[in-house]
Chain A
Amino acid sequence: MTYTFRVSALAAEFGVHRNTIRNWIRNGSLPARPGPGRQYVMEWEAYRALCERYGRSPRPGTDRVKDPAMLQQMAGKADLPPVFLGRRSPTFTESPAWIESCLACGSCAAACPISGVDGLDPCRIIRMALLDLEEELLATDWPWKCTLCGRCEESCPMAVGIVGFMRHIRSLRDRERVPGPIHSGVTTCLERGNNLGIPEQDFLALLDDLGRELALSCPGFTVPVDRYGARLLVTINSKEPFTEPDSMKWWWRIFHEAGESWTIASSNWEGVNWGFFSGDDEAMRTIVGRMVDNLQRLNCSALLLPE
């Protein structure tokens, strides 16, 4: 274990002139040898003895290197399982994210707003995947704490698809262990047409009530449900009918004013595709397919997805 220093730094540390340090080195009372970059190296023990002689404590952090006895002990531990690097797991290499082109430059880590939270760091995640630390990576909650915001990708000089890769790791999580209500929302949507399981009858009654209310300020207004041939098919975020139904009226007032030809489907009207967040491609495809079905069934030419 060694202590590395520059003459000026050591002089400042001990409150003596630089020439004094140089004299000590020259006459051998400071057992240091020259190193690269005008630095000197001495044994940490010699540094400690010097500190003791001048009534100082060694600089904090300089003694963190493990002592030789411990290093020897560690080297003797041959029963540690060796880690083989280089075997690339197809789980990751078959992802189209091109993680192999990562240069480990760390730009993504610098751009990520939550680097360091719980040890998370996009660069680290990519490197772990490349080093085949698949099991360790899948055990973390990192991909779920990432908001898929894409600042990492924006800064990546090699255009690694970090966001897609993060979502890919999400997709490998056992569905029962997907955090929060996202997976149950997907299941509910597949079974009942929307993430919150709002029954069709309740939904239609709500639209009717709200339409009547709006007609007081927008004469002649009604909510056009399943109107064949409307130009615009409008999807709904299920939180709106559930928690703040009046907020649907903002779009409706605009449609009324603009004289838009629009409609809401009576079933499968959900506009929020939680399969995207939970990493469930199949569910995502089904939910998108239902929107396309509604577009075709009602012969609409445009889709409004205000999510």
Chain B
Amino acid sequence: MFDLLQEYIDQDRIRLDRTIHTGRTTYHDPCNYGRRSQQLFGHGYFEEGRAITRACCPDFVDMQPPGADNYCCGAGGGLWSMPYAAERVFHGRLKARQIRETGARLVIAPCHNCRDQILRSLNREYELDIEVKYLWQLVADSLAGPS
């Protein structure tokens, strides 16, 4: 996914409009694309998603801590579908705090599961008042059309 989007950008097959998402934006590192990919395949996708997000959003701020030490959204491992809502929301308190500390109004999540947890659960439970987009949704909404 990251490699494909980056390929489109690098080869100039898509052009991105940086004037659409001008508000402060942050990026969530999904555990499976980051830590797990690093462990299984020797490469964690940390930087790629940020680079693509930065290519769309001029006001980008990282969560703390970013990358390999980042916190899980709280719904990984199938928790989004399991009957442990209290644990899932409790786990997400750290993600909610991280998001709030960035002051971002837009959170980019490159994973279905993380996006659902942040958008549909944490946003409400912790009154974050944020917009959450998939990485590819951000790219699609930033398409500038043919030159």
Contact = CB atoms under 8 A, between A and B. Distances in A.
A179 B39 contact: no
Interface string B113-147: 10000000000000000000010110111010110
Interface residues of B, number: 41
A147 B4 contact: no
Given A145-B79, A153-B39, A257-B14, A114 B71 contact: no
- 7 tightest Cβ-Cβ pairs between the two chains A and B: A277-B78, A149-B72, A147-B76, A148-B77, A250-B140, A180-B82, A258-B13
A307 B112 contact: yes
A102 B80 CA distance: 30
A117 interface: yes
Interface string B66-99: 0011011011111101111001101100100000
Given A150-B36, A253-B140, A304 B4 contact: yes
A181 interface: yes
A288 interface: no
B28 interface: no
A294 interface: no
A305 interface: yes
Given A144-B84, A145-B84, A307-B112, A258 B8 contact: yes
A144 B76 CA distance: 10
Contact of A113 (B72, B134, B145): B72
A153 B35 contact: yes
Interface in A108-149: 113-114, 117-118, 141, 144-149
Interface residues of A, number: 43
A149 to B, nearest CB: 3
10 contacts: A146-B77, A148-B31, A247-B134, A250-B134, A250-B136, A250-B137, A254-B5, A257-B143, A257-B146, A272-B112
A258 B14 contact: yes
Nearest to B36: A150
A37 interface: no
Nearest to B35: A150
Nearest to A256: B143
Contacts of B39: 150, 153, 163
Nearest to A272: B112
A113 B71 contact: yes
Interface in A221-274: 232, 237, 239, 247, 249-251, 253-254, 257-260, 272, 274
B35 A149 contact: yes
Contacts of B71: 113, 149, 151
Nearest to A240: B112
Contact of B139 (A153, A232, A249, A254): A254
A147 B143 contact: no
Nearest to B72: A149
Given A149-B35, A151-B35, 13 more contacts: A147-B74, A147-B88, A148-B36, A149-B31, A151-B71, A163-B36, A179-B82, A182-B82, A249-B140, A253-B140, A258-B13, A306-B1, A307-B111
Contact of B75 (A147, A254, A304): A147
A141 B13 CA distance: 48
A188 to B, nearest CB: 13
A147 B79 contact: yes
A209 to B, nearest CB: 19
Contacts of A259: 13
Contacts of B74: 113, 147
A45 interface: no
Nearest to B3: A302
A250 B72 CA distance: 25
